[in-house]
Structure 1
Amino acid sequence: MDAPDLNLLPALDALLAEGSVTGAARRLGLSSSAMSRTLARLRAAIGDPLLVRAGSRLVPTPYAIALRDRVHTLAREVRDVLSPQDSPLDLATLDRTFTIRANEGFVGLFSAPLVAAVLAAAPRVRLRFAPKPAKDAGPLRDGAVDLDIGVLGAFAPEVRTHLLFRDRFVGVVRTGHPLLSAPVTPPRYAAARHVVVSRKGGFKGPVDEALAMLGLQREIVAVVPGFPDALRIARQSDLVALVPRSCVGDASFPHDLLSFELPVATPEIAVSAMWHPRLDADLAHRWLRDTVMAVCRAATRDLRERPGWPGMASQASSAGEG
């Protein structure tokens, strides 16, 4: 059986409403002959005459009378579905759960101001922060995640992205660590023992590549899955941790840890928001994206304006010497 031609629906609605070929043609901006041909197609498709002549006018058949209200409702719904979204978003009544996938560093720094901003504007909206064990576009594609936060890298080509902020790595050690007793030079940094973060369990990264160019190699004695784990180890040992600078701005950053600038150059970390294109035009999702972007701009601006950032060691100013 052939699929019905939905292009006939507006013509059927107009014919049943007007009760004449001429009136229906005028409503749809067609010629009377074109509408007559459409009426013939409708009769063949439905198996009913629909409109029959009674003297000088057309009258609907009983079946046409039974269809009239249903057809009008269907035609209106089709127009609504196929029309651009122009109804305003009512944040006061918006009742929806958004899932944001991000690592613990982002959650630690941005979750509190983000939740506050969302609740202030949309009190019935709920945020679910999900862990990010690996770079995988599957949850975005199947709708399990609404917004993914992280480094883009080799990701799904269809995914939409927006840069949130740029970050970079710093070193972190406990207060009184011997590394900070003198300027942190590449040889002194490489000679220390290190803890690094890797979801995949890797031991090497951009810092190791930069050190190798100077003929140096550091000793990595521990690999952990998250930045809080690295900070916890650094706090209780002489190991040197490597974390994004934004982690230093987290209110939970321990006071007995100090961060310092790396003595080698490493690439910046571009942190982006990512979402599936099917949500691009969704008004509620667009509002969520705008809110996340505004919160990140405000939080990173506040961090940049703090002199030296919290926890930055005074030795950092001479970290590149030697």
Structure 2
Amino acid sequence: MTEPDLNLLIALDVLLAEGSVAGAARRLGLSASAMSRTLSRLRTTTGDPLLVRAGRQMVLTPYAEEIRERTQNAAHEARALLRPSASVLNLPMLDRTFILRSNDGFVLAFGATLIAEVAAVAPRVCLRFAPKPEKSSTHLREGRVDLEIGVLSNMGPEIRIQTLFRDRFVGVVRKGHPLELKGEITPADYAACGHVVVSRRDGIRGPVDDALAEYGLERKISTVVPGFSAALAIAQASDLVALVPASFLISQPVIERNGAQATLWIFDLPVKTREITISQMWHPRSEVDPAHRWLRQLVLKVCRQKVADQAS
């Protein structure tokens, strides 16, 4: 019996993940014609078309959908077998790119320190921070990212989770804002101001609005922006109040002193809101990968140290 060409496994994994010949060719560094020939071989080997045309797009066949996750796991295991074992993990010689899916706030607060820590012991490692426009476990399941970082959502029972730190929201206004001059801020004082809020989706109501509602209050939302950096910039140049996670202020240059005068004033909210738990998440296929485990431990160390330094 002729053995199957196991080189086709990696191509099959990429084809099923990308769902297109062109996308798979880009990821594998092949020409479109070479990828088309590989698809033909895969069709012959599996006895299934795998990708079929639907209008202007290609879609997976039912069989391809059925084997996609098994293919991802098999390809990952094959790669893991060809890497050094845990006993011979050589960080100075480790040549690998890790993809971390996170929001901009995490990169701004922890990215520079994490990159420096990696470079000090594993100079050949590259950290790639991928955008996170929505919460989803798809990227982990498909092996497109190594770590998902953020607030836990419904990721599925198989996804591994580790708490990095606890966060909370704080208010931020420009230095000299009327709220700063009040001393103790009441819920009514806070609600009476105009607010700039961050939302990447349609909804703009959050836990702060629920807490204010218990006092019979509602804040006036004057503008909505897609990121916390934009919210701080607007707060600095206006009388609007920004609401940001405390961790986001760890590495913000706008919080630095200008002479003896701060550019922004940070205050605790006058209403109680739930703490935010920031976690790192990964697929179980990476659980025992020594390099992946090293990265997870490093992310945990950097996050907890930076948060502790901020609190002290």
TM-score under structure 2 length normalisation: 0.70
Q: Offset at 1:137?
A: 1.2
Q: Offset at 1:224?
A: 1.4
Letter in 1 for 2:145: V
TM-score under structure 1 length normalisation: 0.67
Give 2:119's aligned residue: 119
Give 2:96's aligned residue: 96
1:1-322 to 2 correspondence within 5 Å? 85-182=85-182, 183-254=184-255, 255-305=262-312
Letter in 2 for 1:213: E
Alignment root-mean-square deviation, CA: 2.3
Q: Offset at 1:233?
A: 1.1
Q: Offset at 1:156?
A: 2.6
Tell me the secondary structure at the aligned position of residue 231 of structure 2: helix
Tell me the secondary structure at the aligned position of residue 92 of structure 1: helix
**Matched-pair contact (CA < 8 Å) for 2:109–2:249:** no
Give 1:17's aligned residue: none
Tell me the secondary structure at the aligned position of residue 91 of structure 2: coil
Q: Offset at 1:269?
A: 0.5
Letter in 2 for 1:121: V
Q: Offset at 1:167?
A: 0.6
Listed one character per residue, the Cα deviations across residues 142-186 of structure 1 (whole Å, up to 9, x for unaligned) are 121111110002223221110000010000001111122212110
Structure 2: gaps (5+ residues): 4-77, 256-261
Q: Percent identity?
A: 56
Runs of 4+ in structure 1 over 6 Å off: none
Listed one character per residue, the Cα deviations across residues 87-115 of structure 1 (whole Å, up to 9, x for unaligned) are 32111110000011111111111011100
Distance 2:160 2:181 in 1: 47
Q: Offset at 1:262?
A: 0.1
Q: Offset at 1:201?
A: 3.0
Tell me the secondary structure at the aligned position of residue 253 of structure 1: helix
**Matched-pair contact (CA < 8 Å) for 1:148–1:274:** yes
Q: Offset at 1:85?
A: 4.6
Letter in 2 for 1:300: V
Structure 1: gaps (5+ residues): 4-77, 306-322
Distance 2:274 2:193 in 1: 22
Distance 1:160 1:225 in 2: 29
Distance 2:86 2:237 in 1: 57
Letter in 2 for 1:277: P
Listed one character per residue, the Cα deviations across residues 178-198 of structure 1 (whole Å, up to 9, x for unaligned) are 122212110010111101112
Distance 2:213 2:155 in 1: 28
Tell me the secondary structure at the aligned position of residue 172 of structure 2: strand
Q: Computing the radius of gyration over CA atoms, which structure comes out larger, 1 or 2?
A: 1
